[in-house]
Amino acid sequence: MLAQLDTIQTEALAAIAGITDEASLEEVRIAFLGKKGSLTAAAAGMRDVPADQKKDVGQKLNEVREAITSALETTSADLTAKKDAAAFASIDPTLPSRPLPKGGLHPLSLVLDEAVKVLRRMGFALAEGPEIETEWHCFDALNTPADHPARNESDTFYFENGKLLRTHTSSVQIRTMEKEVPPVRIIAPGSAFRRDEIDATHLSAFHQLEGLYVDQRVTLADLKGTLEYFFREIFGSKTEFRFRPHFFPFTEPSFEVDIKLHAAGRPSKWIEIAGCGMVDPAVFSEVGRKRGDAAYDPDKVTGFAFGMGLDRLAMIMYGIPDLRLLIENDVRFLQQFRG
Amino acid sequence: MNVSLQWLGDHVDFSEYSIPQLDELLTFAGIEVEGIESLPDHLVVAQILSSEKHPDAEKLSVCQVDDGSGKPRQIVCGAKNYQVGDKVPLALPGCVLDAGEGKTFEIKEGKLRGVDSLGMMCSAKELGLAADADGLLILSPDLKAGTPMAEVYPAVFELEITPNRPDCLSHLGVARELAALAKKPLKGRAHFGETNTPTRAAKADEVRLESEVCPYYTARIIRGVKVSESPAWLKQKLTSIGLRPINNLVDITNYVLMETGQPLHVFDLAKLEGGIVVRQAADGETFLALDEKEYALLAEDLVIADAKKAVAIGGVMGGEDSGVTETTTDVLLEAAYFNPQAVRRTGRRLGLHSDSSYRFERGVDPLQVAGVSEFATKLILDLAGGKADAELLVAGGAGEGPKPVALDNDYCRRIIGAEIPDATIDGILASLGLEKTGGAWKIPSFRLDLVRPIDLVEEVARVHGLDGIPATTMATFSPASKADEAYDFLRSLQGRLASLGFHEARNLKLISGAQLADDLATSHRGMSPVRLKNPLNDEQDYLRPGIVPGLLASASRNVRFGTSDLRLFEAGRVFVASPKGEEIEHEHLALLMTGARIHRSWADSKPKAIDLHDLRAALEAICPEGLNFVPVSDGKLLCACSVEIGSGKKAVKIGMAGIVPPARARELDLDAPVFVAELNLKKLMSVVKAEIRFADLPKFPGSSRDVAMLVPGDLAAGEVAAFFEAYDEPLLISAELFDVFTDPTGAKLAPDKKSLAYSILYRAPEKTLEAGEVEAAHGKLLDSLKRTFNVEFR
């Protein structure tokens, strides 16, 4: 009996070694372990084994079954592994991807978002105002003389009812101060319009970011600190910039901010990037007159304001040579800003 | 304004300043340097020693010139306007001249028609000193041969003076400002506020002021002058800043203007009939100005007239008929003050601008009028001879000058935010010519801009500079505003749309009348578009009432440039007017899709075309649950749908969607169907749930049943969806449409029918449903469907 079991084991292992596929695996399993299999038949012969040999034969029987089962399992695992490998063998991982549509944000949105992120960290909240404005909000309240050239119909878009398309986002300063009492700490991104023929450096509609901070003791030093932080965050901590005295009707003192631009192969040069200054007391007086209260008493509050062109910022940050690219929406242009 | 460095040197010694240092000094004075013109190296004064005809060229001469080296140099020249002995500019080999349009050319030794030419003699135009020139620039005979031309014509700064500083619109003014900032003394007087000439009130038949626009007018009569060419020094001064010399009298007025900022005018006394009358023009009065153009005047314009006719437009331009000519012998020198607003109004209306009007518009110092008249008179007597009347005729008055301004130095420190000592503040103001008298600062008469304490603070801040001021910040907390919420909401939509393959577009908000037809009237039925009163052109005469017109133009452009698979979105403001004429501004978001769903690739060589359902999917990805397309009859779109969130009475309309009529699309070169949607962002934001609450997950499995039903071909799936939405069965969880089948051939289905197949899920929250319960509910549902839509189940 023991010899018979040895023979079965030898035969089974030989048969298993010859297995090539799932079907022959199953055949071999059935031939040895199936209901009519040779090992099953041998096991049935246990009842004829004398009692004193039962233990040894039983043990042998288990060993043989174990050996065959184990060999079958190993072979089965090998077969599965081969099949799995074969299933992916034809894949060329160097093929280009199966495409998904790719989109992205407009460079102006990216620049604006950068600016907004920095200014929000500094405690500014967003504000907005209408783009169709009254002359009072756009000019009078901002201390602009009645015969200032900016009011010309040759420079500013008007409507029949006397309103106009705001020429700067500074009108949002006035809109905000009409509604809110100090402290006011806002930024207002938005469109502004000037009656310019469109060319590489002019758009009839462009984008600005306005800032205003009014409180009891706001100083020129605060303005300097705010813009220095802002421009270092945007352009890097080593950015060189300068505050150049200038004139705006609605701030005094007034400055323009230049940053030094380094372009490969060209001499570095100063580029004007923002206008700023301390809110002119005449602006507070006019707002106070409109409000009919003393919330903006020029003897009690001070403030700073700044404004910058986002289109220009985008041109500088991305090296865009022509403003018209910003309004043409050519996908070949837009897809360069996916970042 | 052009300012010559050499001319500034008449007033202040800047010899140790380099050009970049002066640039910086000007910049930090608040004077923008727009350009610096300087002559190149290797350009010298040369004297023409001889001139002979070129052997082989009619029009050329061969000259020997003295370039200061001691050895004659041979130059071939085409000009004819010189005489032997003249001194002219000579570009030596190596000299780089401006060729215009940003190009340069280098002078080299060469041959002209076979004759050696070792340099080039130059015209004023070739040196950039004049717009055009007739022949060589003939220099002053006093110059020494070999002198670098950069010493003869030192650098000229092109300056932009801000409107608050008219006192800097002259060489003296700029010099005075720079001297204060550089802490240098002025060589001569700082202003023309004083005069030694006796004045006499003009009689009514000499000068009569009839208009408030001119509060102050002076006239000086000078007889026996000789009009001739100006001396070289004067011509050189004018040409150095780009002015063309004319004759000694005209050149003197131009020189004095550029020196002092005070415009002057010289009338030929012989051509004046009677005394000067300063009056408003008569409506319709015409005037022939010096520029030889005729101007039609209005009563609001100021003229200088004689007894019969206007002889000048006050402060703007003199007349052709009363000006100085070669035969003039007696003149009337006008120096006056005109109201800035009136000069500006007239100049602007007539489109007539002059160096005079530029200064009167910004404001001249009335107190310098008499002093400058005296200065100019002296020059006329020196250069043109003649005899001046002893007295200056005066009409009106120059006023008292600026009022003193008190400055509290603590106020100054409070605005600037730095501990600037009193001595520094006072020192800065004193350096600018202010005088502390009593408690206030006396303001120099030329500083028309210093009126309020803040104006003095500005001076302190400007001169002190921001470098010496600390950079502080006073961050305060700001609560989020409505604008913050809107910004963040839009920012998240932008990000999601970009992930869905959309590129963000930004179009001009000004569109043409023709483009209005592309608007979807998303949130403004009954409103009208807003039109500009003064558009630049008819391509941009309306404010956009919606975004789709711009997106269509962008799509058209992209397709023409070869990108035909497009997903674009744009967010921004749109404008309409109510029937009452009130402008209303909305924030909109628009989407456009056209072309293939994905780009053709190895993975899908025939990708499917985008359809309306792709557009809906994109909208669902950015909108809250419950988005519906409700068909509406709208002439502008095919398959026009109102985009709504929720259904029934609670539905909120947030926008419009549909297919651009193919005829219109083809006009724009858009051959594939174009799908567009436009949403009102405020409405969209209003339906976004403010609060998100967790709901328990189902604890028990559900049971689903599929049902396929035959319905009329024109039954909208939305109606069936609405039926399920409204169907009252607590166990019904969802009904998903998983198949739509039609057969136009009629082989499998009647051609006027379609088959809709739904997978219907039943579930109870508290237990596993038994088969019988599901069957009962499902049977009821099928009955109800049959009653409602008269369906057949397949």
Helix, strand, or coil here: B578? coil
Check whether B103 has a pLDDT greater than 70. Answer: yes
Among all chains, which residue has been given the structure tokens 């396929």? B708
- At A63 the three-state DSSP class reads helix
Please name the amino acid found at residue B644: E
Question: Interior CA angle at A94 toward A90 and A99, to 5°?
Answer: 100
pLDDT surpassing 70 at residue A207: yes
The verdict on residue B403 lying in a domain is no
A337 touches chain B (CB under 8 A): no
pLDDT value of position A3: 83
Q: Which residues have C-beta within 8 Å of that of residue B323, sequence separation ≥ 6?
A: B266, B267, B268, B290
Q: Is B680's pLDDT higher than 60?
A: yes
Report how far apart, in Å, the C-alpha atoms of B369 and of each of B215, B334, B339, B395 are. Answer: 12, 10, 14, 12
State whether B498 and B539 are in the same domain: yes
Q: Which of residues 244-273 of A touch B (CB under 8 A)?
A: 244-247, 252-255
Euclidean distance between CA atoms B747 and B435, whole angstroms: 106
Contact of B448 with B365, CB cutoff 8 Å: yes
Residues B374 and B235 in one domain: yes
Q: Kindly determine whether residue A253 and residue B162, on different chains, have CB atoms separated by under 8 Å.
A: no
Q: Are B627 and B616 spatial neighbours (Cβ–Cβ below 8 Å)?
A: yes
Q: Are residues B460 and B513 in the same domain?
A: no
pLDDT in tens, B339-353: 999 999 898 888 889
* Residue pointed to by tokens 């500079």: B465
Whether A165 sits inside 8 A of B478 (CB atoms) is: no
Mean local confidence (pLDDT), B15-27: 89
Asked whether residue B441 is assigned to any structural domain, the reply reads yes
Per-residue pLDDT at B133 exceeds 80: no
Contacts B416 to A, Cβ<8 Å: 219-221
| Nearest one of B350, B346, B385, B378 to B264, comparing CA atoms | B378
For all residues of chain B together, what is the average pLDDT? 91
DSSP bridge pairs for A308: A209, A274
Domain count, chain B: 6
Nearest-CA residue of chain A relative to B25?
Answer: A244
B543 and B572 both lie in a single domain? yes
**Which stretches within B449-532 are classed as H helix?**
453-464, 482-499
Mean local confidence (pLDDT), A184-204: 92
pLDDT confidence of residue A339: 57
Confidence bin at B359 (pLDDT 50/70/90): very high
Chain B neighbors of A196, CB-CB under 8 A: 536
Q: What is the pLDDT of residues B721-780, one digit of tens each?
A: 989 988 999 999 999 999 999 988 888 888 889 999 999 999 999 999 999 999 999 999
Per-residue pLDDT for B670 more than 90?
A: yes
Cite the DSSP H helix spans in B363-408: 369-384
Question: Two tokens at B516?
Answer: 């209005």
Closest chain B residue by Cα to residue A128: B483
Give yes or no: residues B381 and B503 share one domain: no
> Which of A156, A157, A270 is best to mutate for the B interface (most B CBs within 10 A)?
A157
- Stretch among A105-114, A145-154, A244-253, A259-268 having the lowest mean pLDDT: A259-268
Specify whether B264 is located in the same domain as B384.
yes
- Specify whether B31 is located in the same domain as B49: no
- Residue B602 with chain A: CB contacts under 8 Å: 95-96
Do B171 and B276 lie in one domain? The reply is: no
Task: Kindly determine whether residue A328 and residue B510, on different chains, have CB atoms separated by under 8 Å.
Answer: no
What is the spatial distance between Cα A144 and Cα A135, in angstroms, rounded to a whole number? 10
SS3 B451: coil
Q: What is the pLDDT of residue A116?
A: 97
Q: Which candidate from B162, B341, B567 shows the least CB-CB separation from A147?
A: B341
ipTM of the complex: 0.89
| pLDDT (0 to 100) of residue B101 | 66
Q: Please, are residues A127 and A172 in contact by the beta-carbon 8 Å criterion?
A: yes
* CATH code, domain carrying B19: 3.30.56.10
Domain membership flag for residue B470: no
Burial of A113 (0-12, 13-18, 19+ CB in 10 A): middle
Residue B600 lies in a domain: yes
Based on the domain organization, do B633 and B548 belong to the same domain?
Answer: yes
- Compute the distance between CA of residue A255 and CA of residue A241 in angstroms, rounded to an integer: 12
Question: How many angstroms separate the CA atoms of A109 and A117, rounded?
Answer: 12
> Smallest CA–CA separation between A256 and chain B, in Å?
9
CATH code, domain carrying B281: 3.50.40.10
Q: What is the CATH number of the domain that holds B670?
A: 3.30.930.10
Poorest-pLDDT segment among A318-322, B11-15, B648-652: B648-652
CB atoms within 10 A of CB A59: 11
- The pLDDT of B234-239, averaged and rounded, is 90
Question: Which among B286-290, B431-435, B712-716 has the top mean pLDDT?
Answer: B431-435
Pull the structure tokens for residue B545.
Answer: 């009432």
Residue A262 has what pLDDT? 78
Which stretch of DSSP H or E encloses residue B573? strand B566-577
CA-nearest residue to A117 within chain B is: B488
pLDDT digits (tens, 9 = 90+) for B603-660: 999 999 999 999 999 999 999 988 999 999 876 899 999 999 987 788 899 999 999 9
Which residues in chain A have their CB less than 8 angstroms from residue B458's CB?
252-254
pLDDT in tens, B459-516: 999 999 998 899 998 777 888 899 999 999 999 999 999 999 999 999 999 999 999 9
Please name the amino acid found at residue B563.
T
Mutate to test the interface with A, among B178, B504, B605 (most CBs of A within 10 A): B504
Can you give the pLDDT at residue A265? 66
Query: In angstroms, rounded to a whole number, what is the distance separating the alpha carbons of residues A191 and A132?
Result: 10
Rg of chain A taking only CA atoms, in angstroms: 41
B60-80 tens-digit pLDDT:
899 999 998 888 999 999 888
Q: Are A72 and A16 in contact (CB under 8 A)?
A: yes
B-proximal residues of A, 31-70, CB under 8 Å: none
Helix or strand or coil: residue A71?
helix
Q: Count of H helices and E strands in chain A?
A: 12, 9
Percent of the residues in chain A that have a pLDDT greater than 90, as a whole number: 59
Closest CA to B670 of B555, B574, B498, B760: B555
pLDDT tens digits, B515-569? 999 998 776 678 899 999 999 998 999 999 999 999 999 999 999 999 999 999 9
Q: Would you say residue B12 has pLDDT above 90?
A: yes
Asked if residue B149 and residue B162 are part of one domain, the reply reads no
pLDDT confidence of residue B523 = 65
Which domain range does residue B119 map to?
Answer: 43-153
- Output helix, strand, coil percentages for chain B, rounded to the nearest 5: 25, 30, 45
Is residue A313 helix, strand or coil? helix
DSSP state of A139: T
Question: From the CB of residue A152, how many other CB atoms can be counted at a distance below 10 Å?
Answer: 13
| Token representation of residue B445 | 């008469």
The answer to whether the CB atoms of B508 and A103 lie below 8 A apart is no
Q: Is residue B570 part of a domain?
A: yes
Residue B191 covered by a domain: no
Phi-psi map region of B437: left, alpha, beta (phi>0 left; psi -120 to 50 alpha): beta
Using the structure block, give the residue that is written with the tokens 């590489």: A200
Which residues in chain B touch residue A327, judged by CB atoms under 8 angstroms apart?
506-508
> For residue B422, is pLDDT > 70?
yes
Beta carbons of A334 and B483 less than 8 Å apart: no
Q: Kindly give the interhelix angle for A171-179 and A281-291, rounded to the nearest 10 degrees.
A: 50
CA distance B486 to chain A (A): 9
More confident residue, B257 or B649: B257
B2 pLDDT tier (thresholds 50, 70, 90) = very high
Tell me the average pLDDT across B699-725. 92
pLDDT bracket for residue B165 (50, 70, 90): very high
H or E element, residue A3: helix A2-17
Does the pLDDT at position A50 exceed 90? no
B680 and B586 in contact (C-beta within 8 Å)?
Answer: yes
- Give pLDDT, residue B562: 92
d(CA B740, CA B529): 42
Q: Please give the Cα distance from B545 to B564 (Å, whole number).
A: 26
Does B534 contact A157 at a Cβ distance shorter than 8 Å? yes
CATH code for residues A107-337: 3.30.930.10
B-chain CB neighbours of A101 within 8 Å are 500-502, 565, 567, 597-599
pLDDT (0 to 100) of residue B682:
94
B498 and B548, same domain (yes or no)? yes
Q: How many Cβ atoms are within 10 Å of B106's Cβ, its own excluded?
A: 13
On whether residue B194 sits in a domain, the answer given is no
CATH of the domain at B99: 2.40.50.140
Token pair for A338: 């996916």
Which string of DSSP letters, residue by residue, matches A156-176?
S-B-TTS-EE-SSTTHHHHHH
- Pairwise CA distance, residues B285 & A75, whole Å: 115
Most confident of B140-154, B367-381, B706-720: B367-381
Contacts with A330 from chain B: Cβ below 8 Å: 557-558, 561, 563
Residues B148 and B176 in one domain: no
* B236-247 mean pLDDT: 89
Per-residue CA distances from B632 to B528, B640, B644, B716 (Å)? 21, 6, 12, 13
Give me the residues of B, 459-478, that contact A with CB < 8 A: 461-462, 465-466, 469-478
Could you say which residues from 106 to 125 on chain A have a Cβ atom under 8 Å away from some Cβ of chain B? 106, 108-109, 113, 116, 122-125
| Residues comprising chain B, all counted | 794
The residue out of B639, B658, B687 marking a domain boundary is B687
Q: What CA–CA distance (Å, rounded) separates A277 from B290?
A: 43
Is residue B472 one of the residues assigned to a domain?
Answer: no
Residue A215 pLDDT > 90 = yes
Asked if B454's CB is within 8 angstroms of A281's CB, the reply is yes
CB contacts < 8 A, A to B, total 238
Q: How confident is the model at residue B113 (pLDDT cuts 50, 70, 90)?
A: confident
Inform me whether the pLDDT recorded for A157 exceeds 90: yes
